[in-house]
């Protein structure tokens, strides 16, 4: 594929507005890329070619008439298959929804369409219960464009593969335990997990249609892209209050004041949860050195009083409460959960198993109570306030995304070897992401380098709640110094 399909969504939208590129031409380029590469990646699970082509033709005709649909006029995008799309199959990787066709768009989909975006297809997720690999019971597994023997991460698996491989200009995923950030890290792209409840979840499937809205904490939609600029554009379009989800507050997405790196207070830490792979540690420390050379003030710091183990246990407890009623409790679902629990309790270094121990959460499952749920939410409030206070002294906090780069495909929730040590699956993948779902703080991932075996490495930039625009402005400056998006070889 030419460089055209790897341009940013912002650049492509401008080219279409300037009429140096037609929407049909761009759509054809992406369809050709999909035809060439999706067979080995399985990133796109449902293609919307016929309707996308008709819409692209309408977009070009509209510009001739002087009409502008919005910031993404005529730009082809993809959407994680957890988001309902009117008239287009939406499965969430959940077998009972294999043939489900919604009659209404999810709010984020409707807002992107209203801005002129053209939906080219749905991207292949992990199953509805969420895993750190692109595996579900409907579609073939998602493979990493950097090496198809490796996973993309999950659950926004196809989103990350599609963006990295140039199959789409922009995608929207969702994140409850790192499901945007970890795939961005594994595939060498950019991702944003906004503040909890900053973006409407209306029309997002984790609860099976017809079930009550159980998952009201820790889950948030967000963009995946090839630039910070595109993260900002997409966030501005999808964020904000929604009559379909009244608890999304009307926080304005106002432009952030530009501040040079030398004026920012930046903290960093690379081992405050679990030891990270040597390649990741080396790459992140090189990035820190480059930032310091560029004039940034960076200090090694982690909040000493924050009990990360207790926070992890609380995350597990709330997850049990929220997921319990999101889908019917079938024998198949119970069997999957028991396999996950067994692998988490028995695989990996015994000391590391204690860091993300799900046994207490399993005990909670057998004694769910309304009082216990309220007590967990009250405890969550305490952790949020504590991290708010700790981060008040900093403009951004730089931390790893995961303890490992992308790993080879394996049985779900199996242990992962890192530098000669065996890590439980959750510890390797979620130790640096789950805490910020618990507290709701926003985080951006940017690509900053590669391992010795040419697998991408990302950096997680954590900011203050409700201040995504400020966080994105800081991420943009950091990216200009250390960001290194690269096309995977052969794409």
Catalytic residues: 80, 155, 179
Q: Is the omega angle on the peptide bond into residue 155 within 30 degrees of 0, that is, cis?
A: yes
Place of tokens 């759509």: 27
Task: HSE, CB side, 13 Å, CA atoms: give it for residue 440.
Answer: 19
The tokens of 83 are what? Answer: 């988001």
Contact 273, 432 (CB under 8 A): yes
Query: What b/e string do you get for 451-462 counting C-beta neighbours within 10 Å, with b at 16 or more?
Result: beeebbbbbbbb
DSSP 39: H
User: Please, what is the Cα angle at 272 between 270 and 276, to 5 degrees?
Assistant: 50
Task: HSE, CB side, 13 Å, CA atoms: give it for residue 208.
Answer: 17
- CA gap 192, 471 in Å, rounded: 10
- CA gap 474, 231 in Å, rounded: 13
The tokens of 476 are what? Answer: 């943009």
Place of tokens 């790196």: 261
For the chain, helix (H) and strand (E) counts, in that order, are 16, 13
Place of tokens 């501040």: 259
C-alpha Rg value of the chain to the nearest Å: 21
Measure Cα distances from 313 to 355, 360, 467 in Å: 9, 7, 27
Task: Report strand pairing: 265-268 vs 118-123.
Answer: unpaired
CB atoms within 10 A of CB 221: 32
């Amino acid at each position: 594929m030419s460089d055209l399909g790897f341009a940013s969504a912002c650049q492509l939208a401008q080219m279409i507005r300037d009429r140096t590129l037609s929407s049909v031409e761009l759509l054809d380029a992406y369809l050709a890329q999909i035809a060439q590469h999706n067979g080995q990646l399985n990133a796109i699970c449902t293609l919307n070619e016929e309707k996308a082509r008709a819409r692209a033709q309408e977009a070009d005709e509209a510009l001739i008439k002087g009409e502008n649909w919005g910031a993404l006029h005529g730009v082809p995008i993809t959407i994680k298959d957890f988001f309902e799309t009117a008239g287009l199959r939406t499965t969430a990787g959940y077998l009972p929804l294999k043939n489900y066709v919604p009659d209404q768009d999810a709010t984020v989909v409707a807002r992107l369409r209203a801005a002129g975006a053209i939906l080219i297809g749905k991207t292949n997720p992990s199953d509805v219960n969420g895993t750190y690999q692109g595996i579900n019971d409907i579609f073939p597994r998602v493979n990493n464009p950097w090496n198809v023997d490796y996973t993309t991460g999950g659950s926004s698996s196809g989103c990350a593969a599609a963006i990295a491989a140039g199959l789409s200009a922009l995608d929207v995923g969702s994140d409850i335990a790192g499901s945007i950030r970890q795939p961005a890290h594994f595939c060498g792209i950019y991702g944003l997990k906004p503040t909890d409840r900053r973006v409407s979840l209306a029309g997002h499937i984790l609860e099976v249609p017809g079930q009550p809205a159980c998952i009201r904490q820790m889950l948030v939609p967000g963009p995946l892209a090839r630039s910070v600029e595109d993260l900002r554009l997409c966030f501005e379009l999808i964020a904000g209050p929604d009559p379909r989800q009244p608890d999304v507050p009307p926080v304005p997405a106002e432009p952030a004041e530009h501040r040079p790196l030398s004026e920012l207070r930046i903290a960093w830490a690379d081992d405050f949860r679990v030891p990270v792979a040597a390649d990741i540690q080396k790459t992140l420390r090189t990035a820190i050195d480059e930032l310091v050379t560029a004039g940034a003030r960076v200090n090694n710091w982690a909040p000493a009083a924050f009990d990360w183990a207790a926070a992890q246990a609380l995350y597990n407890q709330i997850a049990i409460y929220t997921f319990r009623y999101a889908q019917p409790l079938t024998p198949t679902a119970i069997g999957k959960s028991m396999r996950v629990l067994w692998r988490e309790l028995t695989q990996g270094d015994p000391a590391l198993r204690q860091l993300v121990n799900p046994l207490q959460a399993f005990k909670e499952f057998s004694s769910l109570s309304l009082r216990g749920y309220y007590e967990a939410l009250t405890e969550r409030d305490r952790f949020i306030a504590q991290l708010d206070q700790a981060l008040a002294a900093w403009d951004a906090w730089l931390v790893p995304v995961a303890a490992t780069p992308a790993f080879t495909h394996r049985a779900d929730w199996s242990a992962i070897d890192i530098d000669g040590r065996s890590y439980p699956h959750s510890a390797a993948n979620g130790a640096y992401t789950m805490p910020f779902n618990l507290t709701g703080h926003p985080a951006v991932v940017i690509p900053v380098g590669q391992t010795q075996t040419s697998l991408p490495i990302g950096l997680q930039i954590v900011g203050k709640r409700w201040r995504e625009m400020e966080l994105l402005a800081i991420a943009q400056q950091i990216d200009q110094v250390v960001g290194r998006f690269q096309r995977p070889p052969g794409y």
